[in-house]
Amino acid sequence: MSLADTARKLDALDPIAHCRDEFDLDPEVVYLNGNSLGALPSAVAPRLAEVVNEQWGRRLIRGWGEGWWRAPERIGDRIAPLVGSAPGQVVVGDSTSVNLFKALVAAIRLNPGRPELLVDAATFPTDGYIAESVARLTGVEIRQVPMPEAAEAVSERTAVLLANHVDFRSGVLHDMGAITEAAHRVGALVVWDLCHSVGALPVELDAHQVDLAVGCTYKFLNGGPGAPAFLYVPQRLQAGFDQPLSGWCGHADPFAMAAGYTPDAGVTRGRTGTPDILSMLALDAALDVWDKTSIAEVRTKGLRLTDFFLSCVDELLGDRVTVRTPRTENRGNHIALSVPEAGQVMKELISREVIGDYRPPDVLRFGFAPLYVRYTDALTAVQVIADVL
């Protein structure tokens, strides 16, 4: 069977093919960059129009008492099943960088007397920048460690390990359970960055007794550019979660306008300032698609889709590219290929309506969002790459 016939057959048998209808997509574009910015869900524009014209336009400030004020917790509870969390442990708001700052400082405060902050040596740059700032502010030492060595690197000196669930360049999926367990054996805490795994594959925060986690919502959750991030604080740590950005929205009684800060008893203490309601409710609409599928179905398709892409790469590209992503199941939903002049190659691909992205020095990165990417898209992308090369 030809690759084209295989792609058509796989698309015809795809049990979540109907989810593509939930997105506003240009049929002429092969979009393989959902790991940077998800596609636009069709539900977002009408929902935002209603929020702007009716809620803001007609209800005005009454909107805060009619659903806006508790949106961070309510939407957090919608994300909770996607990260393996019970309700009341996820709150939405601020950016990933801001939430990471909160989580790292709080983790160090939860684990005093330990002088070391371990950081994934291949971490996304903003995580490293935030970690360096946290280390300066708290007086701990920062040490970089390759994630495959993290379980052995944690020690009695380690206050917290900052770990990425999926590597943003290579797509390698790290073992959350094993790494968290190794950290706990020596009394260390772990903060997990879920930006490249939430909405792409199952995450089991509660089952693995994860301490704290952060993630963005504009990639595989399709919340839109600059959509608010989320923060996970399990119930067992909420009473001691002393975050450094103690804004009024995290106060136990924010409208009392008290001079002193008393944190809320629950995950609300993770909030800081007034939430961005327009972005928040756009994300709320984007999450509606998860009522029509499950993260297990998405993961199954994600592995099959990337397997098919790799088979196309092997047949059509051969040794002209080097695959940097594992071919086993310990990968996320993006594939990294190394080629000479990768930046220029990606520019040419984008000019031909195949949209991925480039990571220095030589990586072409293609993200497969199973909710809307088809097997025929994967084949088309490889055919265009072959032509460009």
User: Among residues 20, 102, 219, 331, which one is catalytic?
Assistant: 219
**What's the CA gap between 151 and 367, in Å, rounded?**
28
User: Among residues 23, 101, 168, 218, which one is catalytic?
Assistant: 218
Query: What's the full length of the chain, in residues?
Result: 389
User: Among residues 14, 94, 127, 193, which one is catalytic?
Assistant: 193
User: Among residues 20, 331, 365, 374, which one is catalytic?
Assistant: 365
Q: How is residue 267 annotated by DSSP?
A: G
The helices-and-strands tally (H runs, E runs) of the chain is 12, 13
**What's the CA gap between 342 and 334, in Å, rounded?**
16
Tokens at residue 49, please? 């129009």
**What's the CA gap between 367 and 356, in Å, rounded?**
7
User: Among residues 23, 101, 124, 372, which one is catalytic?
Assistant: 124
Strand, coil or helix: 19: helix
Q: How is residue 174 annotated by DSSP?
A: P
Instruction: Please say if 124 is a catalytic residue.
Output: yes
Instruction: Please say if 372 is a catalytic residue.
Output: no
Instruction: Please say if 365 is a catalytic residue.
Output: yes
Sheet of strand 230-232: strand arrangement: 90-92, 230-232, 212-215, 189-193, 158-164, 116-120, 141-145
Catalytically active residues, by annotation = 124, 193, 218-219, 365
